[in-house]
Structure 1
Amino acid sequence: MCRKVIVSAKFAIAMMPSKNRRVIINIVGLCLIVLGLGNVLFGESILNKFLEKEMVLRPGSKMFELWKIPPLKLTLDFYLFNWTNPQDFQNLDIKPKFEELGPYRFIEVPHKVDIKWHTQNASLTYKKQSKYYFDAANSKGQLDDKIVTLNSLAVSLSSKAKRWSSLRRRVIDIALNVYNGDISITKSVNELLFEGYEDVLLNMANFLPTSLIDVKVPFDKFGYCYPRNYSADVTGIFNIHTGADDMRKFGQVHTWNYADTTRAYAPECAKVYGSPGEFQSLYLEPHKPVDFFLSDVCRTVTMDYTQTAEVEGIQGFRYEGGKRMVDNGTLYPENVCHCNGDCVPSGLMNITSCWFGSPMFLSYPHFYDADPYYLTEVDGLKPEKDKHELYLVLEPRSGLMLEMKARLQSNILVEPISDFKMFRNKRRIFFPLFWFEARTRVSPQLAEEFKLLPRLLLSGKVFGIISTVIGLIMLAWYPIKLHLQNRLIQQIKINNLDNETHHIVAKTISLQPEISPLLVESVQANAKILERADTQLTEFSIEASTSSTDRSSMQSSTSST
């Protein structure tokens, strides 16, 4: 059927007058040129507009479902430092020695809950809830492994109480006697991480009036990650822009816990901004840093662009935490407002104010990229770039995550406090507790969807170039054809003129007997050649006339029909 339609169309065009055919071909060629140039010049802009429309967070959209329950597999590897010589902590000449145990791997399954839409400012509010599953097959150890570590509860309480009145300090000193002067504890991996453990001091704090101890205890147990497992109240309440009004704000934090600033830092460092982790801004530019708001540290951190990287066949931008993220103003003066009054050597991030006054400090694992001072105070730590750096790779057009390896170490500051017997004459040290690696990578299936955009863009440009070339050929077809016909006619006229000249020369020579016989023979031979050429030209003209007559007859009969 299609073949019949095409043949009919070709026949109809062939039967049209030549002038009409020329007009139609020129119009089609011009349209192809406009279409082709449009694809080449504006194809990327059109694709970007389509991408922006699809990226907007709206109820029921594909992007909303991907955001609500991320398809990327997120693994958490925990490494705990086992303290091998706690009995020597009183001896200032012996450094604390550590043995790294792990990894203890968990699979995190996050999703968003309590979602509320705010159309008046194109934003939505949500909480993050995660479920953690222990992956025994890929772990090096079991959850019941015993770990010797520092009594973080005692250290936290003593650090907070050192500025209280003498009477209240006396009460805390008496309370610390429940540990019999032992600054170390032995707990299982599960107790230290997600399950938590009960503590006499914690129970006591829950029963004592807040006016006496000036501490509001939010939990009934203590654990490094307690009570994160399936809790939506730990990370706070986020409000982010959906991008419906302005895609430049897409996925960026508007408020956290209903405020656009935090109380954890000085006003110049308290602004809430950046990505909460799921999305970055669209159309990322190389050599320009990206910002992430981390609720666990109550602040925004900046990551610097380093290079392009390929993940599952997709070109992305690689960003690293570097020294900027954990500096306190020594290397980057703008970070001095994050010191919280205690500007320690570069390499540790002071998050005391975000952790209920507990003297907590974040660093890279094994004090990687930190001031050498920290390594001189401990034994058993060995920083390595490949194992301990923090980086991520983002797809530059959409800002979505291609790969992430976030590695951070939790440390607590132990210092001598004369008012408390348990900490009297103790060394000042940043005690490493544990470090973790949060890792994710785009799946091959999802990577194919990422590859679709550049493929569409390339296909559009190729189609545009081909359409433009075809259009130019169609516009130039009749002028070129006319030019060739004119040249052919001119060549025929020149040949006829040459024939007539040769006849005249031959006749002239034949009338002159005094000319050399050799010359006469040569002229006669040329005359014969010219005579044969003249005969062939005459036959060609007769055939051309006959063909023209046949075509005229066919057109006449078609018209009558």
Structure 2
Amino acid sequence: MRFPVKLAIGSISAFIFIILVGFVLFPRMITSKVKGMVNLAPGNEIRDMFIKVPFALSFKIYLFNVTNPMEIQSGEKPIVKEVGPFCYEEWKEKMNIEDKEEDDTISYNQKDTYLKKWWPGCRNGQEEVTIPHPLILGIVNTVARQKPGALSLINKAIKSIYSDPSSIFLTAKVDDILFDGVVINCNVSDFAGKALCGQLRTAEALTKVGEVEKFSLFSSKNATLQKRIKAYRGKKNHRDVGRIVEYNSSKMMDVWPTEECNSIEGTDGTIFPPLTKPGEGLFMFSPDLCRSLIAFFVRKSTYDGIPCGEFTADLGDMSKNEKEKCYCSTPETCLKKGMMDLYKCSGIPIYASFPHFYNSDTSYLKGVGGLSPNKTKHEIKILFESITGSPLYARKRLQFSMPLESTQKVELFKNFTGTVLPIFWIEEGVGLNRTYTGQLKSLFTLTKVVKVSKWLILIGSLGGLAAAGYLFFKVDGRADITPVHEIRRHESKSGSTVNGAGGHVLSGNGLEKY
């Protein structure tokens, strides 16, 4: 067999092998392996991490200290100064686990526990700050929406409970405001004060500590069970892993006026489906906002050497986007870009936005002094590895503010200039360490080696085919000519004879015969 033919056969064999193994069988093997690993059925390692995250998330809180409280009472523009961060570890765990094989679901109650930490750059929590009193501002704004005729009664109750205050602002230690609690004097005898305290107890806004009642921003969320969630495990369909199908025993919320806004889409944010394409986005359901959010793809990125995609999210613009108008407090009263009214969700007129009104309508920023929105510090950012569905790094940031509005029936609210006053913002963050990224790196190292090898072999086989063809046709079109050399014969002195016959050498006489 000629060499060009051998080369062609070898190249064709390599080509077929690499197509079958490198481009077909290996990707299918990886896909099958990922599907088998990334589901929440009992026995899977990912289930254990889903039920109890084995590491703490960072949880940071920033408060806005009001520097001119008495001037605000007279109608001037609020001036604030950010104070923080106040740092905590956030441990996530799911309780009361229940599996259902027939519909491939898992049900649970989320529990988040916060532990105070003093990392470099964190504040100690003993600083005193001045903020709008969440109860005073929240109560007045709520009654103004629900029963404006009761505002005169609320005016009396505030004077009774807070001992005839001169402003709506609270000055206290940060630890007390956040978790330890600020004392609320509900030991009053007048009807208005008793009625208001009764409502606060019913709404679970107050916590009984010994003989006194206290209010704080986060104590009610610390180590308490949240509403029940039912989600797919993803054993039957990997695209469904973690997707919520019921919240608080209902397949839809009943908060908003339309079915579209009441729909529950996405996961709880701790897990996402594997083999996700960047254009599909990441869907998350947020109970605190009573809505689903989608994080959309921004650009390609890397994390600890692992290729991934960068995603971000926003709160939209319900004043212009028809699909988001169902989040308006009324069809005629919609907040502007980047702001969401959570009154229907939480029962309190509190607004959600990004910190410092980042990516919000500029009118909100103009209404308060001392704010400096910054993309890097204040956006939502997720670095997501799409093959395994792993969030490698995430920073979720939200600011909570309250409307400051003039109300003539409440003495402390008569002179306010209308604005949105920020109270605090939070950052929930996670970044996988090398213990967890190392497992992903081994997968990507193998994938990268196979990827490089398959292209090298493919290119080599095609090059071998080209070389074999060249050699074959070059040799086939060439005539091989054997060279002829002149042979000189020497006459012997006597003619040789065989069996007495004369030799074949002809003499001159012999030639004459012809």
Q: TM-score, normalised by structure 2?
A: 0.80
2:419 matched to 1:432? no
2:239 matched to 1:253? no
Which of 413, 432, 440 is the aligned partner of 2:403?
413
**Alpha-carbon offset, residue 115 of structure 1:** 1.0
Distance 1:201 1:318 in 2: 50
2:153 matched to 1:171? yes
Q: 1:463–1:427: structure 2 CA closer, same or farther, 3 Å change rule?
A: closer
2:434 matched to 1:441? no
**Is the Cα contact below 8 Å between 1:72 and 1:441 reproduced in 2?**
no
The aligned residue for residue 296 of structure 2 is: 304
Q: Quick one: which amino acid aligns to residue 184 of structure 1?
A: F
Distance 1:427 1:436 in 2: 27
Which of 176, 179, 185 is the aligned partner of 1:200?
185
2:203 matched to 1:217? yes
2:439 matched to 1:452? no
The aligned residue for residue 552 of structure 1 is: none
**What are the superposed Cα offsets for residues 224-272 of structure 1, whole Å, 9 maximum, x if unpaired?**
2222222223xx2111111112111111111111112212222231111
Distance 2:88 2:53 in 1: 17
Distance 1:269 1:381 in 2: 31
**Alpha-carbon offset, residue 366 of structure 1:** 0.9
**Is the Cα contact below 8 Å between 2:294 and 2:313 reproduced in 1?**
yes
Distance 2:289 2:402 in 1: 14
The aligned residue for residue 484 of structure 2 is: 498
Query: Structure 1: 5+ residue runs without aligned partners?
Result: 1-17, 19-25, 476-481, 509-561
2:296 matched to 1:313? no
The aligned residue for residue 551 of structure 1 is: none
**Is the Cα contact below 8 Å between 1:415 and 1:423 reproduced in 2?**
yes
Q: Quick one: which amino acid aligns to residue 41 of structure 2?
A: R
Q: Quick one: which amino acid aligns to residue 109 of structure 1?
A: W
Q: Write out aligned runs for 1:34-73 (5 A).
A: 35-42=17-24, 43-73=26-56
Distance 1:166 1:348 in 2: 24
The aligned residue for residue 6 of structure 1 is: none
**Alpha-carbon offset, residue 195 of structure 1:** 2.5
Partner of 1:448: helix, strand, or coil?
helix
Q: 1:37–1:344: structure 2 CA closer, same or farther, 3 Å change rule?
A: closer
2:68 matched to 1:85? yes
Q: Quick one: which amino acid aligns to residue 364 of structure 1?
A: F
2:323 matched to 1:334? yes
**Is the Cα contact below 8 Å between 1:130 and 1:229 reproduced in 2?**
yes
Distance 1:282 1:206 in 2: 56
The aligned residue for residue 210 of structure 2 is: none
Which of 391, 398, 413 is the aligned partner of 1:401?
391
**Is the Cα contact below 8 Å between 1:320 and 1:392 reproduced in 2?**
yes
**Alpha-carbon offset, residue 215 of structure 1:** 8.6
**What are the superposed Cα offsets for residues 78-102 of structure 1, whole Å, 9 maximum, x if unpaired?**
111111111112222x211112111
Q: 1:201–1:377: structure 2 CA closer, same or farther, 3 Å change rule?
A: farther
Q: TM-score, normalised by structure 1?
A: 0.74
Partner of 2:437: helix, strand, or coil?
helix
Distance 2:13 2:71 in 1: 86
**Is the Cα contact below 8 Å between 1:176 and 1:422 reproduced in 2?**
no
The aligned residue for residue 105 of structure 1 is: 87
**Is the Cα contact below 8 Å between 1:191 and 1:197 reproduced in 2?**
yes
Distance 1:218 1:201 in 2: 14
Which of 93, 113, 116 is the aligned partner of 1:134?
116
Distance 2:23 2:339 in 1: 49
**Alpha-carbon offset, residue 420 of structure 1:** 2.3
**Alpha-carbon offset, residue 474 of structure 1:** 13
Q: Write out aligned runs for 1:474-493 (5 A).
A: none
Distance 1:140 1:39 in 2: 53
**Is the Cα contact below 8 Å between 1:35 and 1:464 reproduced in 2?**
no
Q: Quick one: which amino acid aligns to residue 68 of structure 1?
A: I
- Once superposed, what is the RMSD of the aligned Cα atoms? 3.8
The aligned residue for residue 335 of structure 2 is: 344
Q: 1:312–1:470: structure 2 CA closer, same or farther, 3 Å change rule?
A: closer
Distance 1:227 1:408 in 2: 19
Q: 1:450–1:202: structure 2 CA closer, same or farther, 3 Å change rule?
A: farther
The aligned residue for residue 232 of structure 1 is: 225
**Alpha-carbon offset, residue 278 of structure 1:** 1.1
**Alpha-carbon offset, residue 72 of structure 1:** 4.9
Partner of 1:141: helix, strand, or coil?
coil
Q: 1:121–1:177: structure 2 CA closer, same or farther, 3 Å change rule?
A: same
Q: 1:164–1:345: structure 2 CA closer, same or farther, 3 Å change rule?
A: closer
Report which of the two structures shows the higher radius of gyration computed on alpha carbons.
1
Q: Quick one: which amino acid aligns to residue 388 of structure 2?
A: S
Q: Quick one: which amino acid aligns to residue 113 of structure 1?
A: M
Q: Quick one: which amino acid aligns to residue 198 of structure 1?
A: V
The aligned residue for residue 144 of structure 1 is: 126
Distance 1:432 1:293 in 2: 24
**Is the Cα contact below 8 Å between 2:399 and 2:424 reproduced in 1?**
yes
**Alpha-carbon offset, residue 55 of structure 1:** 0.7
Q: 1:163–1:215: structure 2 CA closer, same or farther, 3 Å change rule?
A: farther
The aligned residue for residue 532 of structure 1 is: none
Query: Structure 2: 5+ residue runs without aligned partners?
Result: 2-7, 208-214, 466-471, 491-514
Which of 173, 180, 184 is the aligned partner of 2:169?
184
Aligned length: 468
Distance 2:19 2:146 in 1: 75
Distance 2:366 2:398 in 1: 20
**Alpha-carbon offset, residue 422 of structure 1:** 2.9
The structure with the greater share of residues assigned to helix is 1
The aligned residue for residue 104 of structure 2 is: 122
Distance 2:484 2:55 in 1: 84
**Percent of counterpart pairs with the same letter?**
21
Distance 2:192 2:275 in 1: 50
The structure with the greater share of residues assigned to strand is 2
**Alpha-carbon offset, residue 163 of structure 1:** 4.6
Partner of 2:156: helix, strand, or coil?
helix
**Is the Cα contact below 8 Å between 2:64 and 2:423 reproduced in 1?**
yes
Partner of 1:101: helix, strand, or coil?
strand
Partner of 2:356: helix, strand, or coil?
helix
Distance 1:266 1:202 in 2: 40
**What are the superposed Cα offsets for residues 118-145 of structure 1, whole Å, 9 maximum, x if unpaired?**
1121110112222222222424421221
Q: 1:202–1:335: structure 2 CA closer, same or farther, 3 Å change rule?
A: farther
Distance 1:462 1:202 in 2: 75
**Is the Cα contact below 8 Å between 1:73 and 1:441 reproduced in 2?**
no
